[in-house]
Chains A and B, each alone.
Chain A
Amino acid sequence: MRQLVIEAWKNRELIWALAVKELRVRYKRSALGFLWALLNPLLMMLILTMVFSAVMRVPVHDYPIFLISTLLPWTFFSQSLAYSADSIVSNGELLKKVYVSKSVFPIAAVVSNLINFFLSMIPLVLLLVIFRFPFYWTWLYLLIPLISLILFTLGCSFFFSMVNVFFRDMSHILQVVLQAWFYFCPIIYSLDFVPARYRMLFRLNPLLYPLNGFRLAIYYGLLPTAQSMAVSLVCGIMALVIGYGLFRRSQDMLVFYV
């Protein structure tokens, strides 16, 4: 783990440049450019709100805010994974010619999506203003679910970027897994909707804790229990230790398989 911190710090300028490049390339030559980072979550929210609030009548007040408070962190997670899964493979030609720390590519994928995430907080704030929704002081606490989520995302990103080199199926499997995971997380619903006897199953989902942290702080203005905070941090740290551990073990092999 110390290795990771040292490597990331040593390569911080490169990671930042790669992350910015990623965003630049993503939005380059589109007429709206960076505005898409703001529009995308808004449109997504609009669609889901129409389906679940207007059509299916989920009994939740201010549904758009209920939804977006967990949709944004989820989008950060899922996009980071989708990008990092290809990050080593798509830089394969480079890795064969220049010596670079392999870890910079998944980290840069996460960082670029983190920038995107912060940009997407702007429409969230706008939405709160439009709905005259209060800004709770619990916003201050968001740092903890955010850190947990980043650690967890990094761990998964290391894992998938590495596995995808050996088994290219992984990027396809990942799409399905993410789709299923989206419905398994309390994003369009909350845990109260789940019948009590299944709730235990849902509690096994490590993403539940950081996502709930976001919703509690933004939508309910409540703090999660200390236990829940601890679980979310522990899950994040464990994911990173395992994901990076596996990545490190095989990083010298990657260049032969890309």
Chain B
Amino acid sequence: MSRVGAISGSQRIYFQQVVERFRLIQERPDTLREAFAHLFRNRVSYHDFEALKGISFVISEGETVAIVGRNGSGKSTILKIIAGVYRPTAGLVKVSGKVSALIELGAGFHPDLTGRENIILNGLLLGLSRQEIRSREQKILDFAELGEFIDSPVKQYSSGMYARLGFAVATEVDPDVLLIDEILAVGDAPFQEKCLAKIDEFRERGKTIVFVSHDLDAVRRLCPRALLIHEGVLRLDGSTDQVLAEYEGVLQQISA
């Protein structure tokens, strides 16, 4: 699998028959003792779980695509594969351009470092150079609106402040592909508005966005196209109205 490979024309993300298999975690030998125990008992004591069962789709430059589905259907796994966090077990994945993943805001913040120190560390983790961070610091500070808290350790931040800072850093990476996973659930209404405005700005600049959310209003507002994932299978790929109609059908089936 090549993460950044030859990819035709305006395609940004290319998935072909992607399978992701996990070994279920409670069964794995965590310590040597258990490993020995398994050795002697001589039985297979794990089982594999297929989070994705052969998913294919293509997302082109400038598209904003939503991924919807129930909890555990495999949405986040898709994002993590695009981000490069997971390697697919089988299938072909190609991603072109710089990817920034908003999978969890402020992942990688160190609680004992100040906001300012964390901006640098987090920026570096997301692939920026020190110089790039310095030149963007003011914009990050403006967006995060932390006031004097910027020089306090982030463990003293409220969850909203934490989220604002995380969002500000991740979007200043200026990616070609932005992955957003259910992060708008945190923060108050003005913050959400600000985030949506930022996402709109990305769209206008022709960036590619993949958006995972249970907030169907936000999906309708932002995304013309959607993918419905159900139990690791791509059930429908189409216009958002079409897909959400199908999704509501799925939800009703379950509650019925």
Contact = CB atoms under 8 A, between A and B. Distances in A.
B130 A255 contact: no
Contact of A21 (B83, B85, B110): B110
Chain B interface residue bracket vs A: 20 to 34
B110 A169 contact: no
Interface of B: 22-23, 28-33, 35, 80, 83-87, 99, 101, 103-104, 107-108, 110, 112-113, 117, 120-121, 124-126, 129-130
Contacts of B23: 256
B120 A167 contact: no
17 contacts: A25-B112, A25-B113, A94-B125, A95-B85, A96-B85, A97-B80, A97-B85, A97-B104, A97-B108, A98-B101, A98-B107, A99-B99, A167-B29, A167-B35, A169-B33, A252-B87, A256-B86
Interface of A: 13-14, 17-18, 21, 24-25, 28, 93-100, 167-169, 252, 255-257
Nearest to B181: A97
A93 B29 CA distance: 20
Given A99-B99, A169-B31, 20 more contacts: A13-B124, A14-B124, A21-B117, A24-B112, A24-B113, A24-B117, A93-B107, A94-B107, A94-B108, A96-B80, A98-B85, A98-B101, A98-B108, A167-B31, A167-B32, A167-B35, A255-B85, A256-B23, A256-B86, A257-B28
A64 to B, nearest CB: 35
Nearest to B21: A256
Contact of B129 (A13, A96, A97, A169): A13
A25 B23 CA distance: 35
Nearest to A28: B112
B82 to A, nearest CB: 10
Contacts of B125: 14, 94, 98, 100
A242 B35 CA distance: 24
A100 B28 CA distance: 25
A168 B108 contact: no
Contacts of A17: 120-121, 124, 130
A9 to B, nearest CB: 13
B87 A97 contact: no
A71 to B, nearest CB: 29
Given A252-B87, A255-B86, A21 B101 contact: no
Most buried by B among A17, A98, A100: A98
B116 to A, nearest CB: 13
B130 A21 contact: no
A81 B14 CA distance: 41
Nearest to A167: B32
A99 B101 contact: yes
Nearest to B32: A169
Contact of A98 (B33, B110, B112, B126): B126
A121 to B, nearest CB: 27
A106 B108 CA distance: 16
